[in-house]
Structure formats: C-alpha cells, structure tokens
Structure 1
Amino acid sequence: MASVNYRTLAADILEGVGGEKNIATATHCATRLRLTLRDDAKANTAAVEKLPGVITVMKAGGQYQVVIGNDVPTVFAELGKISRFGGDDAPAEEAAKGNIFNRFIQMISAIFSPILWPLAAAGLFKAFLALAGNLGWLAPEDSTYVILNAAADALFYFLPLFLAITAAKRFKANQFTAMAIAGSLVYPSIVALNGTQANFAGIPFSVMNYTSSVIPIIVAVWLQGYLERFLLKILPSAIRNFMTPLLAMAIMVPLTLLTVGPATIFLANGLSSGITAMFDFAPWLAGAVMGGFWQVFVVFGLHWGLIPVMLNEIATTGYSVMMAPLLPAVLAQSAAMLAVAIRSNSAKRREVAFPAAFSGFLAGVTEPGIYGVNLPLKKPFYFGIAGGAIGGAIVAMGGSAANAFVFPSLIGLPAFATIGSFITLLIGTAVAIAIAFLLTFFFGPRETPDTVDAGVPGKADGGTAATPSAATIATGSVKVLAPVTGTAVALSEVPDKVFASGAMGAGLAIIPEQDTVHSPVSGTVQVAMKTGHAYGLKTDSGVEVLVHIGIDTVQMKGEGFTSAVTRGQRVEAGELLATIDRAKIKDAGFSDMTIMVVTNTKNLTAVVPVGQGHLDHGVPALDIEL
C-alpha cells in the first residue's frame, strides 16, 4: 500500500458510504474501519471495494467494516482531518490499565526503553572511568580524562534532551519542539541560576537544576502535546506551521520553570528539613528513610534538595551523616539488578541487568538498572527499597558518615571509613545487599524466555522449552512461533470471512487454553491497539505478523485485555504481549480464538503453517520463505 494516497482513500471511502451525514459512529480495529451507518442503502459497497488500498468490505454486528489492513490507523487519522470522525490514533500505552502507580511505571518504562542500551553503555563507561581514576591511571585534570568523562557523562547530563524525543513520540508531540524545550531547561545560563531566585515578567520563581532530571521534561512534553493539538485546530493554515512550535516554546519553557521547578524545590526542601530533624531525634528512622527511598527521591528529582545539605555538612563539620545510608540504598538496588541478571529467563533483560549491576556496584550509577530493570519489573525495586531501608537504619545507628562527597559505591567506600563505626557500615550495607538479592532471586519475576543462548533452550515458568528467535534468519527463512497455548485451527475455519478467505494473509488460528499471549517473532511493535485485542509486529527482515485475539473483540473496548507492550517497543520472540480474561470474553458472547496472519504474504516466497493439533506457545507454527 506504499503507493496509496491515504487522504484520497479516506475521502473516497467517506463518499462511498454516503457521506459524513450517513455515519453515526466511526472507529477502527487492527485491520478495518468500523462504521455504523444510518442507512446502509446509501453505501456503494461495490465502489468502496474497488478503491486502491481497500481489501474488502463486510457487514457484521451492525457495522459496515472496510478492511484496510495494517495501514488502517493512517486512514482513520486522515478521516479525522476531513470529517468529525477519526483523528489521530492514540497509542496503546495511553490506555494503560491499573492503578496510577502502575500506569506511571509503564509510562516511564516506555519512555526510557529506546535509550536503555546507550544508557547502560554510558553507565558502564562511567564505572570504568571511575575505576581508572581511583587507580591513578588517569587524573581528573588530565585532558584525556576530561574528554572521556564528557563522552561517558553527556547522556546523563543532557538526559532531558533524550527523554524529550521519546516522550514526544508517546504523547504525540513534535519531537524537535520538545528537544528545544528540553534544551532550554539545560541551557548554560539557566543552569547557572540553579538555587537562586529569578523572575519572569515580574513573576518570581525558584530555579532548580534540570540536568539529569526526568519528571520535569516528561510533564512538559505531555502538556506540549495538548497545547500543539489545540493550536493546530485554531491557527489559520497560513501561519500554523511556524506559529505552533513558536508558541509551544514560548509558553512551555516559562511555564515549566514557573511551576515544575518551584514545586519540586518546595517538596525537596520540606523533605530535607524533615530528614535533618529525624537525624537529631531518631537516626535509625532517618537512615531507614534515606536508605529505602533515595532512589525514589532521585526519580522525582527531590534529591536536589538534599544534596546541598550534604555538601554543607561536609563544609562545616567535615563529614555528612546523611550520605552514609546512601551506600546501602544504591548497593541494594544494584544487588536486585544482579539477581535479575542471574535469575531472569529473558535474555534481553539479562543483557541490560548485568552491566547495570556492575556500574551500580562499582561506580554508583544506577539509572540504567532502575529504568531498564528494577522499576519496570517493580518487585526488584520494592526489594531494593526494603534492603536499603534496613541497611540504612543499621548504618545510621553506627554513626557512620562520609568525609567527602562521592558516589555511594564500592569505589567510594574509603570516604566512609573514618567517621563512626566502619564495621557497622559494612554490616548494614551487606545486610541491604543480601535482602535485596535474596528476595529478588527467590521471589522476583522470572519472565518468559525470549531467546536461546548458544543453542540451549530456556524454560518458561510453565516448563515449556523455548525455540530459536524468529528474528534470526540464517538460511532465508523465518520461523513464526505460536503466540498462545491451545489447539491449532486452519485459517479457513475461522468464523470471519476476511481472515478465512486469506485476504489479510496466510496464517492459522489457535483456540487458547491459557490467558497469556506472546510475541511470535522478534521485532518491533508496529500496532498495539488501545483495546488490547490486536498487535502488529514487524521483524528485522521485514516480515509483518498480525496477532488478533478473538473475533470482533474490539467491541469489548478493552474489557478483559491487559497490554504488556506499547507501540514502537522492541520485543523478542516469546515475550508477553498481553494477558486476557477468556471467561470474560466468552461471557460477552465473543470467541476467544486467536488468529495469526502474515499480512505481507504477497511479498514473500511462501508462508506454510506447520503447527498442528495441540501447540504450546513458543513452538514453531509457521514457516516463511523470504
């Protein structure tokens, strides 16, 4: 469909169904426009079916369904530009379910996902550089050290710029405008105002340090998306293209500085005062709070209110008691990462967790592991908090303190050796590490196997052997795996004529026996319906696979479906796509039959179903010749 003009197609469909006035409602699923017409007789079905880009038209469930294929979101978006229907297709992640905290974690994980590998590499780079400096191989004032440090630290320092890009993709905002907003927050003259009182148009505000920050730019880009959509609707077309980014930058930069910064500083100062008071009357409690929640403070940028207090302690007394609990806090989270690296069945997760744990232990750089391992999996993060809290309380009771401002890490350990009980500090830190590691190792998520290491099959929680990654193409062929466990059914037996006819491509269907749906290939999620019932995947070799859960289940509007992936995310074969409630699907009167088709079958040499009878998810179901 590369040659199809989507704007023209949307207009032709609108005309073919009798015009905008004949449409009562319009929506879409993974493959088709679903229209409710006021008068079916006004629709010229024969003409609509002949349109370039339309596969077929069918009527079912009171809907007039125009089958487009994978490009239906684009057609739907174009429909929104010429009628009151359609519009931008919201990514699946915007419909995330669960409590606020779970949705927050999912959002943070999705935004960090594209930069995890560079982040992990930079963390490891910083660890090795710190080691070289500690061993005397490189002096901090040496130009070689300065250059390497810039290479290692730039991603962390300018983190808001990187997050602006990924957040803009999620919140459907202009990426370059988002980068301009982020760049303003870390602009040298703004950074120089850190900790001072400034004013904008006579409005006073406190300035915080936005370098390495996370939440401020995410909030700013989220608001930017709404602002841009509003401006695009009200601005005349003659000035829209340049006035939209101009106004977005002019409004969002001051707004962020006037609101997010002062609010963060207010909370951070309150937190700092409370913890300082706690150290006076209950050191063990203050140690538990610092040890348990330090990484939480970092995520929300609240640590900026505590760092000046630590620096002031060192400047006035020669040491900081507030810094001592940070050692168990950081190493407990690193221990949880290490347990995930050893215990997880996901090769993809292990590849992130091992270097993240190393950089955390050695140099105190935990960002890659927090955002790529512990926080997305939740339990390791909680276990790290538990270990850090107990270890922090022990350390604080021993009167431990740091006589220099260092990253809490094994390399920074000498800074904690001269004040208070060093033995107690080591015991508290060891306890924190042990708690986090053991809890994560025995009770943390094992995850689904997604690859085979050196040809050795992994095992899923249910004991099913994993098969080679479908993304690996050694002989010009691809194996597509069964996405669910159940009974295989020929595509011709599917009770939906579009799928049964093969119009959407060759494939098969499976009647599921479990409530989990897994990725059949390694590749990128091209489509993740916000209703959670359908996913489009594309392998590195260009094979496009659609996994459609149930028949007409789009009408359930997400009830009974919980997505585990987001659009644009990289997944490995066998990785969880969604969790479903089969009982709820059947109670709603729909079939839970899961259909898997290769939507670009016509571009391939052959697509042959090989799975028969009972299939476990992860076993070969289709053989593809490229």
Structure 2
Amino acid sequence: MAAKTDHAQLAEGILERVGGAENVDSAFHCATRLRMHLKDSTAADQQAVGELPGVLTVVEAGGQFQVVIGDEVGKVHQALVRHLPEGEPSQKQEQEPDSAGEKWNLFEQFIQMISAIITPIIWPLAGAGLFKAFLVLFTTLGLLDPEGTTHLILDAASDAIFYFLPLFLAVTAAKRFGADQFIAMAIAGALVYPNLVEAQQAGESVTFSGIPVVLMDYSASVIPILVATWLLGHLERLLDKILHSSIRNFTKPLIALLVMVPLILMTVGPITTFAAQGMAGGITWLFDVAPWLGGMIMGGIWQILVIFGLHWGFVPIFLSDLGSVGHVVMLAPLMPAVLAQGAATLAVFLRTRSAARRQVAGSASLSGLLAGVTEPSIYGVNLPLKKPLYFGVVGGAIGGAISALGGSASTSFVFPSFLAFPAFLEVGSFTLLVVGVAVAMVISFTLTYFWVDREADPSESAASVTGPPVDQPAPQPQRSSVVTGGSPAVGSGSSGAGRVRSAEPGVVEIHAPFLGRLIELSSVGDKAFASGALGDGVGIVPESDGVVSPVEGTVVSVASSGHAYGIKTAEGVEILIHIGIDTVQLKGLHFSPAVSQGDHVDIGQQLAAVDFDAVSEAGYDITTVLTVTNSDSLTDVVAEGAGEAVPGAVIITVTP
C-alpha cells in the first residue's frame, strides 16, 4: 500500500463497491487480506475494488470476498468495521468446515488454545520459577531468613507473576477471543481483589443482591479467566450491536464489568469449588478403604487438577488433617506427581534439539524439581508437547500408589519438591516414599526421553551449515519432526535449493524455513500469491513439522492464528512467511508460535511448531508461501526454481 493511502477512505471505497455496509455479513482479516462474507456476492464489483489505490488484487474463494492489501490490512479493517451495522464483526472468527471439525480432538483443541494463550508469557514464568527455586533453596540452607524483609521482597518478586497470573492471561486471552484486553484485565483484577481474597480466606458469607456467592482462590488460576474472557468477547460484540456510538466507549466497559464480574463469581467459583470438594471427598474415602488406589488417583490427576484450578478444594482438607492429627497423608502422592512432571521436562531438556525449547525446559525443570513450581514445565513444555504430560501422569500414578502403600505423610504443609522430603521423615515409610518418587521419575523421564520427538534432526542441522558438495544435487529429504536448526555458517549459502556458494557482498540471502519441495510462485494454489501481488517469492511444500526464520531481522507481525509471520531485515527487506493456504480458518489449531511481534530472530531460529499432517487432514493446502512483500522497491529479487530445499539453503536472493 502506498504510504499516503488514507485507510478510512480506502475502507469506505471498498464498502461502496461491495454493495454497501448492509451487504457485509462479517469481516475479518489475516496477514495480508481483508476477508468478507457478503450477503449478495453479485452486488460486489470486483474490478472496481481492485482498481482502488492501496488494493493489490481481489480474490473470491471459499465463499469469501478477499481484498488483498498487504501489511496495512489491519488498519483498513479497523476503519471498515466502524461502518458496519453489526458493530465489530472483525472479532467474529470464521467457522471451520464441518468435515474438518469432525476430525479434531476436543482435548487437542483445548491444549492448542491453552498453549497459544500462555506462550507469550512463558519466558517470564520460566524466569520467575527459577527465581523461586533458588529462593526456596537459600531459605532451606539457612542462607536467607524466611521471616526477614529481604525474603519478603524477593518472595514478592518471584511469586507475583504466579499469584496474578489471571491478569497476564487476560491480555493474551483477549487477543485470542477478540475481547478488549483492558476490560479483561479489570475482570481478572476483580477475581484477585484483596478484599475478596480476604473474605474467602476468612470463610465469610458473601452475597450479591441476596444471592449467595461461593468464593474460591483465583490466584494462579487459568480456566476461570479464560472462560470469562471468552464470554466477554461475545458480550462486547452484542453491546457493539445495540449501543449507540455516542455512548459506547464508556457504557460498554461499565456494562461488561457489571455483568461479567458477578457472573463469574457466581458460576465459575461454585462450579469449581463443588467439583473440587466432591473429588476431594471421594479420594479421601478411597484413602480410608484402599490407600494404594487413592494414592494412584491422587498422583495421576494432581497436575490436571492444577491446570483446571480444582486443586484448591483439597487445601482445606490438608489443613484440617494437619490441625487434627498432626500430619497429611494425601500430600505424599503429590511428591511423585510433581517430581514426575519435572523429570519429564528434564528429559525434554536433554533430548530436544530445539534451542528455544531447551532454554525453557532447563529452567522449568529446575524450578519444578527444587521448588515444586510446575507452571513453567506444564505450560511451556509438557502440555504443548502432550506426551511428556501424559508420561508424567503415568509416572505420578504409579509412584503415588507406592508412596500411599507405606502410609507416608507430611508433618507440615509443604509444596512437593526435592526440598520437601524432610517433612515426610516422621510418619509412615520414608523408604517407600523415596521409592515411589524414584519410580515416578524414572518412568516419566524414560518414556519422554525415548518417545517424544527430538524436534530437529542432526543431519538437517548439518546440511544447513555445510550442505552437499558443490554441483551435486541435495539428497532426498525424509519426513522429520520439528526443525529448528541453527544459523548457517557465515558465508554459506547455495546457488540452488540445496547447493553451497559464497554470499555476495550487498546481497540479502533468504534461506529455506524447513525441509521441503520448492515450487514456482505461479503454481501456488492462491491467486493473490500466484499473481505476485504480494511480492516475488516461492512456494514450499513442507516435509518437516517446524518453521524457522529464513533471515535475520525483526518480527514485525505475527498472525493471531499463528499461520503467518512478517520479518524485516536490517537492510529493509520485508519477508512474509504464510504457512498453508486459507489456514487462518483453523483459528490457531495445529500452530504453536514461538516468537512475538518485536522479537529479534536469527537465521534458523524457530518461528513456529506446526503439525502439517493435521493441517492437511483438516482439508487445507499446506504449501507455505515465502514472499518479499516490498519487491517493487528493491533492485532485484531472484527466486530459485522448482527443486528440493533444506534449512539453510538459499532460495531467494535480494539486492536492496
């Protein structure tokens, strides 16, 4: 789009030529194009829209009227939805084809959603978890007074992100569900508001307009704020539809807070509390009649309960047992449950070849094993990879049964971790507790180490650095797991998809983002890309399940669905990596972004983990398009022809 193009004027021009705002049923945008569902497609003048300044081309496909605009599409979209009678259908997500939807596993969709929402805050979680682990270690070794003000300040610094986790999740969830992030944060703030927390801890009776409210501890919770933000998105769109624009700005937040805060407190709290109490009562009964079975269930499901916030229902039982009999039997199975997840994360750390995953797993495993802080492990490693979580559950269940058989119990209220072992010395068989923990860790570590994908292949990494001999074709690549690779050696490259040559001075080389088969841009099954409207480039049919950065530069855009990434190099070359055709309609399913807007990336650094097989099975073309979006302003852009490519091989050469 030309720099002087007026976004509002362009939006009005588009609406006028598609039959007016009343002819638009819904509108949203992906990385480069404005997508509209029109009530009457015959009323739209495709040629007239295509001639508007700032429009690259127009495509009608999949029941959508697609106006290709480029990087400025978000601003045009914002201007356009202000004129729509339905308020802001920009936030309305496209519906997946029924056939594709039937193939999706609901639990996998849930995992994908949780991972996508938590990914942006994984590094702060990992850092705070490591901070907390060292704080616990220093306190246990007597190097830090737990009653001193130094400890108080350090504890606040390490624990704040966990305690106020709902506020952080409100921001990322709002982006995911199309809600106002500040209204979502206000709702999250109400859930952890000090007066409500104090009332809950004191067991005070709370009502709202005479209706009893069952409070729960929402600190460090995940599900309640996700539910609240999802509902908020729907409520906002309804309010946008019925509120007049002259009062909408202040009445929408007012109504949203008035409705959502009491609603969540009166629904999520009671449901979670009653469910937790019911499960706690049942497991307590099992401990009386069959301790090993109670221990197995407790050790197996504990981390799942933590994810859903149901674990808080067990805390009163722990405290009651501690006060009445002086020890807590139900804490023993939690030792193998927690340490099994830490061991699974440690296995990922030792096994993976993904540098980004290794960094998260290293600190996360340490915080989980030393301090019992498993959030970084669960949300940063085990849950996204799924198998480590499952293996941790298996190990925790078996280890929990063994520890319960010995009647092990804690004489103080502790967070399960390596540093908590002394609390179990006085009651029951300490030996069986140690055996249970050891068995749990060995099971989860071993299964994870040998059964979880390594996320990169060493031969691929080697190829990205050295490549095959000059003038010899690259070997046929095999399907592999996620490729993250490393940066190619300085001066490496290829004169073809898999050949090596020296980099020329003043030339920007764009490398293959994964193992794949190159096809000419004109052969890509999308008219907008095939026509070159979005710049010169290539199509790549993937043969591996990960996408790495093809250049060094700054991430300037990341699609909320994780299917498209924009990168700008220091030389001003603007790259678009669009994963699959029309994959925006998957709404993030099967995509796990590893970077955020504003990040600096190196060649070979992971941009996203993608399950291409699942995307293909859902009915989408997995051809990935890599284009230089500002080709017209550059001296020369030369793309390689059809052939094979490996990570690190040069597939596009640009002269700025």
CA distance in 2, matches of 1:62, 1:158: 43
**Secondary structure of 1:306 counterpart:** helix
Given that 1:482 and 1:616 are in contact with CA atoms closer than 8 Å, whether structure 2 keeps it comes out as yes
Classify 1:311/1:242 alpha carbon distance in 2 versus 1 (closer, same or farther; 3 Å).
Answer: same
**Secondary structure of 1:518 counterpart:** strand
Given that 1:363 and 1:407 are in contact with CA atoms closer than 8 Å, whether structure 2 keeps it comes out as yes
CA distance in 2, matches of 1:536, 1:379: 27
The aligned counterpart of 2:557 is: 526
Classify 1:505/1:363 alpha carbon distance in 2 versus 1 (closer, same or farther; 3 Å).
Answer: same
Given that 1:76 and 1:89 are in contact with CA atoms closer than 8 Å, whether structure 2 keeps it comes out as no
Q: Deviations over 1:387-435 (max 9, x none)?
A: 0000000000011110111111111110011211111111110000000
Given that 1:340 and 1:440 are in contact with CA atoms closer than 8 Å, whether structure 2 keeps it comes out as yes
Given that 2:371 and 2:415 are in contact with CA atoms closer than 8 Å, whether structure 1 keeps it comes out as yes
**Secondary structure of 1:412 counterpart:** helix
**Secondary structure of 2:125 counterpart:** helix
Q: Spell out the pairing of 1:430-449 with structure 2 (5 A cutoff).
A: 430-448=438-456
**Secondary structure of 2:419 counterpart:** coil
The aligned counterpart of 2:396 is: 388
Q: Deviations over 1:217-265 (max 9, x none)?
A: 1111111111111112211222110111111111111111111111111
Classify 1:608/1:16 alpha carbon distance in 2 versus 1 (closer, same or farther; 3 Å).
Answer: same
1:235 aligns with 2:243: yes
Classify 1:58/1:299 alpha carbon distance in 2 versus 1 (closer, same or farther; 3 Å).
Answer: closer
Q: Which range is displaced more, 359-368 or 486-495?
A: 486-495
The aligned counterpart of 1:142 is: 148
CA distance in 2, matches of 1:26, 1:153: 41
Q: Tell me by how many angstroms 1:445 deviates.
A: 2.6
CA distance in 2, matches of 1:452, 1:246: 54
The aligned counterpart of 1:43 is: 45
Q: Deviations over 1:530-554 (max 9, x none)?
A: 6x9x62433575754334567xx54
Q: Spell out the pairing of 1:203-218 with structure 2 (5 A cutoff).
A: 203-218=211-226
Q: Tell me by how many angstroms 1:563 deviates.
A: 3.6
Unaligned runs of 5+ in 1: none
The aligned counterpart of 2:270 is: 262
Given that 2:28 and 2:90 are in contact with CA atoms closer than 8 Å, whether structure 1 keeps it comes out as no
The aligned counterpart of 2:567 is: 538
Which one of the candidate residues 202, 206, 218 is aligned to 1:198?
A: 206
TM-score normalised by length of structure 1: 0.86
Given that 2:480 and 2:544 are in contact with CA atoms closer than 8 Å, whether structure 1 keeps it comes out as no
CA distance in 2, matches of 1:309, 1:41: 66
Q: Tell me by how many angstroms 1:616 deviates.
A: 3.2
1:576 aligns with 2:576: no
Classify 1:422/1:92 alpha carbon distance in 2 versus 1 (closer, same or farther; 3 Å).
Answer: farther
Classify 1:92/1:616 alpha carbon distance in 2 versus 1 (closer, same or farther; 3 Å).
Answer: farther
Q: Tell me by how many angstroms 1:197 deviates.
A: 2.7
Q: Tell me by how many angstroms 1:449 deviates.
A: 6.7
1:155 aligns with 2:186: no
CA distance in 1, matches of 2:74, 2:199: 45
Given that 2:96 and 2:586 are in contact with CA atoms closer than 8 Å, whether structure 1 keeps it comes out as no
Which one of the candidate residues 552, 557, 564 is aligned to 2:591?
A: 564
Q: Which range is displaced more, 36-45 or 176-185?
A: 36-45
CA distance in 2, matches of 1:598, 1:447: 28
1:117 aligns with 2:102: no
CA distance in 2, matches of 1:72, 1:615: 31
The aligned counterpart of 2:110 is: 104
Q: Spell out the pairing of 1:421-460 with structure 2 (5 A cutoff).
A: 421-448=429-456
**Secondary structure of 1:88 counterpart:** helix
**Secondary structure of 2:652 counterpart:** strand
Q: Aligned residues, how many?
A: 615
Q: Spell out the pairing of 1:31-430 with structure 2 (5 A cutoff).
A: 31-33=32-34, 43=45, 45=47, 48-57=49-58, 66-72=67-73, 74-76=75-77, 78-83=79-84, 87-88=89-90, 98-194=104-200, 195-430=203-438
Give the residue type in structure 2 aligned to 1:124. L
CA distance in 2, matches of 1:492, 1:330: 53
TM-score normalised by length of structure 2: 0.82
The aligned counterpart of 1:462 is: 480
Given that 1:518 and 1:617 are in contact with CA atoms closer than 8 Å, whether structure 2 keeps it comes out as no
Give the residue type in structure 1 aligned to 2:184. A
CA distance in 2, matches of 1:92, 1:17: 19
Q: Tell me by how many angstroms 1:579 deviates.
A: 1.3
Q: Which range is displaced more, 120-129 or 602-611?
A: 602-611
Given that 2:339 and 2:441 are in contact with CA atoms closer than 8 Å, whether structure 1 keeps it comes out as yes
Q: Tell me by how many angstroms 1:74 deviates.
A: 4.7
Given that 2:291 and 2:405 are in contact with CA atoms closer than 8 Å, whether structure 1 keeps it comes out as yes
CA distance in 2, matches of 1:466, 1:347: 7
CA distance in 2, matches of 1:555, 1:406: 46
CA distance in 2, matches of 1:595, 1:44: 24
Q: Tell me by how many angstroms 1:181 deviates.
A: 1.1
Unaligned runs of 5+ in 2: 468-476, 492-502
Q: Tell me by how many angstroms 1:503 deviates.
A: 3.1
1:509 aligns with 2:546: no
The aligned counterpart of 1:13 is: 14
Give the residue type in structure 1 aligned to 2:399. G
CA distance in 1, matches of 2:583, 2:370: 52
CA distance in 2, matches of 1:322, 1:460: 49
CA distance in 2, matches of 1:349, 1:246: 42
